[in-house]
Copies of this chain bind each other. A is one copy, B any other.
């Protein structure tokens, strides 16, 4: 049997040992004013007792639990893992714990998680949002400060609330430029029938694709997928079978890219001979793939880091941050044959 946990050292113990009041201890420890001598006595006592202020007491008093919450669609997706890593790395420098929730890109689950956060009195959230304005507006009103990462929320149909959501700062990759660069690269190679595989949530990228394609756009080649791997595969496979005339495809994220490679292989579509492929997001395996994949790289870790910075400095009304993407040409694209 394990021994019973001993009672925690409290601020009272420190005060007693130092021969001062508890308020003084609190002040000294949080950098308030105190005479040099008092300060030393307090610090001494605290060290001697190995005193660790209880976050519980502080949190209750301040009516807010510290820490920052992070909501991502899927933590096993390397992109979100890197994003999370960035958040974690920034949060560490503030000594703030990070609570992670997985939404599965499902507004309902997201709403659930936000509810849980409120229950915990968390007041800082970084989210890759799945829900729309209707779901985030109440959270905002409840007083938590939100930063969106990777995506922002769709414009809300209700006029009055649109303003609210525009107030939510966001850290985004420059989807417009990324998509445009990729499309230009592909058209430069002679491709005309270019497919686009994207998640339902990737509104910005889808829109950017439509714009970038201009005259060339064929709505039938723009195919949406749900959040799962299976759905990604189904979308890719479906597109390739339905429209064997396409010569290039751009995918909105790395799991769709993976699905495209798999589906192509299954259908005996050769990359890049029969089909050129550009994938959004440069994951480590893109280079190991056969052929190595041409990608639109995104600074995932940076996105997370910057988002964490923003959510920590809620004071200085921060604007939306847009981070650049980069086309990395490897071996998955060829000229139209």
Chain A: residues with CB nearer than 8 A to chain B?
A: 2-3, 5, 8, 52-57, 59-60, 63, 65, 67, 74-76, 78, 81-82, 84-85, 88-89, 95, 97-102, 115-121, 140-143, 167, 229, 258, 261-262, 283-285, 287-291
Does A76 lie within 8 Å of B81, measured CB to CB?
A: yes
How far, in whole Å, are A141 and B280 apart by their CA atoms in the complex? 48
How far, in whole Å, are A67 and B98 apart by their CA atoms in the complex? 12
Does A121 lie within 8 Å of B290, measured CB to CB?
A: no
How far, in whole Å, are A141 and B143 apart by their CA atoms in the complex? 38
Closest to A265 in B: B288
The complex is assembled from copies of this chain, and their number is: 2
How far, in whole Å, are A262 and B118 apart by their CA atoms in the complex? 46
Q: Pick the contact of A75 from B56, B84, B97, B140 — CB < 8 Å?
A: B84
Does A100 lie within 8 Å of B101, measured CB to CB?
A: no
Q: Pick the contact of A288 from B142, B167, B288 — CB < 8 Å?
A: B288
Does A2 lie within 8 Å of B167, measured CB to CB?
A: yes
Residues of B within 8 A of A100 (CB): 84, 88, 98-100
Residues of B within 8 A of A84 (CB): 75, 100
Q: Give A258 Cβ to nearest chain B Cβ, in Å.
A: 6
Does A52 lie within 8 Å of B102, measured CB to CB?
A: no
Does A76 lie within 8 Å of B82, measured CB to CB?
A: yes
How far, in whole Å, are A176 and B164 apart by their CA atoms in the complex? 57
Q: Pick the contact of A290 from B78, B85, B290 — CB < 8 Å?
A: B290
